[in-house]
């Protein structure tokens, strides 16, 4: 039996850092959505446990021990009696703020649970990463706490977007270290009706990503990425997560495709992808 899962790119439309808990974990308030694009995982029973990676961003993963791979860690969390061969087509950049590793872990949970009729870990994978629980859902969510508090949200329309990453990796731990304020305002009340595109832009423009400024300090190319999106007519440009992937929102997918083409032409070494969010 062949089991295929898509590990969709996670996009933080906003990310407010609201404090730290007693264990030092940062508290977040974020509106999260997912792209119609991501890594692909295929699961087959095997005599030994094996991960075979290919794709644009597989090289870094192939250079680490299998026990350091989050897919391996997720599989072992399920304590299965059978072994599997997991094929990974790595289409999302690493250390990029779009939950690539967490999405792969969540897809591993979904794929193996479907295969073996077992159940999720009690913490929904939170110990593997703060984004794993939201990536398990892969739907529009408000994410709070350290990632464990999730609420369905209904007000977002489908959004055409361009995702751009310069290729410069960002250290999440370093960004949090230089973040000036770790007790910022939470998101205010959410809309109670479905928004139009321009209503969504107006709502999101009042929010922010608290990690964007410190990320730009460490990786100045993020500023150039945001400028490229703005120059191509993005109605709202922002960094996702701890970076360095940025997104631009466009009124139509045709406009997003046109912008992606222009940015790719001007910056051939960047990763650029037109997507639909939600």
CATH of the structural domain 155-277, one choice from 3.20.20.370, 3.50.50.60, 3.30.70.660, 3.30.70.890: 3.30.70.890
The upper half-sphere exposure of residue 118, i.e. CA atoms within 13 Å in the direction of its Cβ, equals: 19
Whether 170 contacts 95, CB under 8 Å: yes
Exposed (0-12), middle (13-18) or buried (19+): which is 155, by Cβ within 10 Å?
middle
Structure tokens at 94: 């690493």
Domain-wise residue ranges, the chain: 3-145, 155-277
Q: What is the pLDDT of residues 59-74, one digit of tens each?
A: 988 888 999 999 999 9
- The structure tokens listed for 119 are 């159940």
Element (H, E) at 13: strand 3-20
CATH classification of 3-145, choosing from 1.10.150.80, 3.30.530.20, 3.20.20.30, 3.30.230.10? 3.30.230.10
CB 163 within 8 A of CB 272: yes
Distance of CA 254 to the CA centre of its chain: 23
The residues annotated as belonging to the active site are 10, 131
Are 3-145 and 155-277 equal in CATH topology? no
Q: How many residues does the chain have?
A: 278
pLDDT tens-digit series, residues 158-215: 999 999 999 998 899 999 999 999 999 999 999 999 999 999 999 999 999 999 999 9
- Dump pLDDT digits (tens) for 52-109: 999 999 998 888 899 999 999 999 999 988 899 999 999 999 989 999 999 999 999 9
Residues 156 and 208: their CA atoms lie apart, in Å, by 17
Q: Is the pTM of this model over 0.85?
A: yes
Which 8-state DSSP code applies to residue 185? P
For 246, counting Cβ atoms within 10 Å of its Cβ (0-12 exposed, 13-18 middle, 19+ buried), the class is buried
């Amino acid at each position: 039996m062949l089991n295929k899962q898509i590990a969709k790119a996670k996009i933080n439309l906003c990310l407010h850092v609201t404090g730290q808990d007693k264990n030092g974990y940062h508290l977040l308030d974020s509106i999260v959505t997912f792209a119609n694009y991501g890594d692909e995982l295929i699961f087959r029973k095997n005599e030994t446990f094996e991960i075979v990676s290919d794709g644009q961003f597989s090289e870094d993963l192939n250079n680490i021990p299998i026990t350091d791979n989050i897919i391996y860690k997720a599989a072992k969390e399920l304590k299965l009696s059978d072994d599997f061969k997991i094929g990974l087509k790595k289409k999302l950049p690493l250390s990029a703020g779009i939950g690539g590793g967490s999405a792969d872990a969540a897809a591993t949970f979904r794929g193996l649970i479907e295969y073996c009729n077992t159940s999720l870990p009690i913490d929904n994978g939170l110990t593997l990463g703060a984004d794993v629980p939201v990536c398990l859902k892969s739907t529009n969510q408000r994410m709070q706490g350290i990632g464990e508090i999730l609420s369905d949200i209904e007000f977002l329309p489908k959004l055409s977007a361009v995702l751009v990453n310069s290729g410069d990796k960002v250290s999440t731990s370093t960004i949090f270290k230089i973040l000036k304020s770790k007790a910022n305002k939470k998101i205010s009340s959410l809309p109670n009706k479905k928004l139009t595109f321009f209503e969504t832009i107006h709502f999101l423009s009042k929010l922010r990503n608290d990690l964007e400024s410190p990320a730009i300090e460490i990786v100045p190319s993020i500023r150039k990425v945001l400028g490229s999106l703005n120059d191509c007519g993005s109605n709202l440009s922002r960094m996702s997560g701890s970076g360095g992937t940025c997104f631009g929102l466009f009124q139509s997918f045709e406009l997003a495709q046109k912008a992606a083409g222009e940015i790719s032409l001007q910056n051939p070494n960047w990763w650029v992808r037109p997507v639909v969010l939600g």
